[in-house]
Chains A and B, each alone.
Chain A
Amino acid sequence: MKRLHAKWGHAVSFATILIRQGHPGPDVPPYQTFEEKQRDARRHQWEDAIPWPVLVDDVAGTVHRAYGMLADPTVLVDVDGTIAFYNAITHAPTLDRALSRLFRQQGRGVVLGGTDRKPHLLATIVAGWPALRRGLPQSAVDLETAFPTTALLPYMGDKLRPLVSPIALRATPLPRPKRTTILAAAAALALGAMALRAARRQDEAHAADAAPEVGDTGEAQSSLSSTRSGLSGSAANPVPRSSSTTSS
């Protein structure tokens, strides 16, 4: 969003509306008062270096409810105060396209069909951890319990952030040739991994076939019984105590 703001901030007003705690935890309990919410708005603005206003909704979430009550949407309002576009899960490249289209329409009217409901999972996974971290450990436990891997994936996404952010956290859509190349590389990697796995399984099967057969059952049983007799012999003849312990 900051990259989007750097590109469009001169012509578009940005505002974040602080909603309820998405993933409560010991240090981020559910809001009881407006003052608690306002304090978090200040922390949010400061810690995440947000260069536009962070607005504070009331504790009941009145404005949030009026706008559909989703966890992470962005709404584009045109110059006449009409909803031009609803991005159900905030995705900067999609918003960049919506803004480009809006300015081609002189800032008025519905753009890109009005609604985007795609999950945009990669961006969510890569950018989701910092907020989740504030509610640890409860936030991660609750999310994993609600749906396994939904906390683990953002954690891994955060670790891989330097590597994947040029793709996952872009402000503008990835050009088509690059998108095709990345998809082809990912498909090649996946196919390569599957081929390696299949080859390893085949090797293991060959190794199991080539392993020497264990002797017949009678031989195995006689070996086992001789081991047992050795053990019982030891128990029947324990090591005598040293004389020093008995002399006193």
Chain B
Amino acid sequence: MRTANVHSYNYPRFRTRHLVNEAVRTWQLPRITPGDRAPSVDLPDAEGQPWSLGAHRGRPVLLHFGSYS
């Protein structure tokens, strides 16, 4: 199940359904509610150094989600 999820998430080719899904998700935004606590982010950076959203408490944070391609 997890393997299937990983495969569908990392699609091999961009198709019309991805464009449609993007439009639907943009309209619905079901998982994000302004005013709620931000989901935790504990990830390594490009050099492997740990980065945590919680460590930035007391300072606003801009989290940008982006792709290399």
A interface residues, Cβ below 8 angstroms from B: 1, 4, 8, 11-25, 28-32, 38, 40-45, 53-57, 59-61, 63-86, 88-90, 95, 99, 102, 107, 109-110, 114-115, 117, 131-132, 134-135, 138-139, 142-143, 145-147, 150
Contacts and interface: CB of A to CB of B under 8 A. Distances in A.
Interface residues of B, number: 53
Contacts of B44: 38, 55-56
A20 B5 CA distance: 13
A11 B24 CA distance: 34
A126 to B, nearest CB: 16
Interface of B: 2, 5-6, 9-16, 18-19, 22, 25-27, 29-39, 41, 43-49, 51, 53-54, 56-69
25 contacts: A8-B62, A11-B60, A12-B60, A15-B61, A16-B66, A18-B67, A19-B65, A19-B66, A20-B67, A23-B67, A24-B13, A30-B11, A31-B10, A38-B46, A40-B68, A70-B22, A76-B60, A81-B54, A84-B34, A86-B32, A107-B60, A109-B35, A115-B32, A142-B14, A147-B19
Given A17-B65, A19-B66, A77-B60, A60 B9 contact: yes
